[in-house]
Amino acid sequence: MTDNIIEIKNLYRYFDKVKALDGVSLDIKRGSVVVVIGPSGSGKSTMLRCINHLEEPTSGEIYVDGELLTGEQKQLNEVRADIGMVFQLFNLYPHLTAKENITLAQKVVQGRTEEEANRIAMEKLIRVGIAEKADVYPSNLSGGQQQRVAIARALAMDPKIMLFDEPTSALDPEMIKEVLDVMLDLAEEGMTMVVVTHEMGFARAAADEVIFMDEGMIVEQTTPDGLFNNPQHERTKLFLSQILQH
């Protein structure tokens, strides 16, 4: 077993002629929290989505827990079950209650029984602090509550790593904290996390490493302290000055 849960080597991704990822290599250590920042269009989300092949890489290699992803469906389904993903727009299943959202994949993918899946679902709902909403449909939940259900849904699969794709970007300001609090708890418990976000406060508080991306490349990879207090590259400085002004 290697120390790295994810290894990305020379990842390229083109959309027609546009280079979204221009040679990204990155190792993510087991138990670490990696926060990815950068201007929009810099390839952060694309990189994240390539890790579980929601986006097909144009070229390059991705290893998850030492296993090379080949793009073959059966292998992908197995690997994806071990990678939790949280989306910007939550993507809860609107025809299912909060609890059913969490039990579906447990039953279908992992073959858990109804009782077991329900027990785990309640456990995770308690963990994200909304057990009382178990039987409520997503349309009757606030954005923050929906995102917490989405996190619970991902956690119920016992993932080895959690990917967060701008999890608070679609939330009203007063709901951002409740989601970030859940994420901070997860980080403290030692969950391996890759988080694409604009929440610099979260990066400072939880990240072991911060990655700054621009134009499809990793420009800087360092500690939060190093990045925020002593950025090395002009582009990083420019980006930070733009977002930290206010």
What does the binding site for another protein look like in residue numbers (CB under 8 A)? 52, 54, 73, 77-85, 87, 89, 91-95, 104-105, 108-109, 150, 153-154, 157
Q: Which is nearer to another protein, 84 or 224 (CB)?
A: 84
Q: Between residues 63 and 93, which has the closer beta carbon with respect to another protein?
A: 93
- The smaller minimum CB distance to another protein, of residues 154 and 186, is found at 154
Of 156, 167, 52, give the one whose Cα is nearest residue 104: 156
Looking at the Cβ atoms of 118 and 236, the one nearer to another protein is 118
Least distance CB 172 / another protein (angstroms): 19
Residue type, 38: G
CB of 74 to another protein, least distance (A): 8
Q: In the bound complex, what is the minimum distance in angstroms from residue 232's beta carbon to another protein?
A: 34
Closest approach, Cβ 124 to another protein, in A, equals 13
88 vs 142, which CB is nearer to another protein? 88
Q: How far is the CB of 103 from another protein (least distance, A)?
A: 11
- Choose between 66 and 94: whose C-beta lies nearer to another protein: 94
CB 194 within 8 Å of CB 119? no
Cα gap 21→200, rounded to integer Å: 23
User: What backbone phi and psi angles, to 5 degrees, belong to 208?
Assistant: -85, -35
Q: Where are the alpha helices (DSSP H) in 160-223?
A: 173-188, 200-206
**141 HSE (CA, 13 A, CB side):** 28
For residues 98 and 94, give the distance between their C-alpha atoms in angstroms, rounded to a whole number. Answer: 9
Please state, in angstroms and rounded to a whole number, the distance separating the CA atoms of residues 111 and 113.
6
Query: Which residue, 107, 105, 110, 26, is CA-closest to 64?
Result: 26
Nearest approach, Cβ of residue 78 and another protein (Å): 7
